[in-house]
Amino acid sequence: MKVLMVLTYYHPHVSGLTIYVKRLATTLARRGHQVTVLTSRYDDALPAEETVEGVHVVRAPVVFRLSKGVIMPTFPFLAWRLIRQHDVVSVHLPQFEASLLGL
């Protein structure tokens, strides 16, 4: 099964949500599923794409920050492309417009 997980921050950023999603993603990958995480490239030192513990991580570039939030103009386009390639989408975003990913 192809699983896409979408969230603002992912490992190596540390929060309860990032820990939860990392554990879920790596467990699914170990069980033979193809897992992709779409997240922000909140630190320029992070690669735009990489595979970590069997999980393909895609990071959208961040244009600027608002407090803890990030502005990523390419995020909706990346999400749209990736959603069409996956069987299941797990969204972990607090923004109201996150519901649009389900359409």
The pLDDT tens digits of the residues spanning 32-86 come to 999 999 999 999 999 999 999 999 999 999 998 887 788 888 888 999 999 999 9
| The pLDDT of residue 27 | 98
Q: Residue 52: left if φ>0, alpha if ψ -120 to 50, beta else—which one?
A: beta
Kindly report the CATH number assigned to the domain that includes residue 73. 3.40.50.2000
Q: Please provide residue 71's backbone torsions phi and psi, each rounded to the nearest 5 degrees.
A: -105, 120
Number of domains in the chain: 1
Tell me the sheet residues that pair with 55: 35, 52
Query: What is the extent of the structural domain holding 11?
Result: 2-102
Q: Which two tokens stand for residue 96?
A: 């109201």
Give the pLDDT of residue 32. 98
Q: Whole-model pTM?
A: 0.89
pLDDT at position 102 is 60
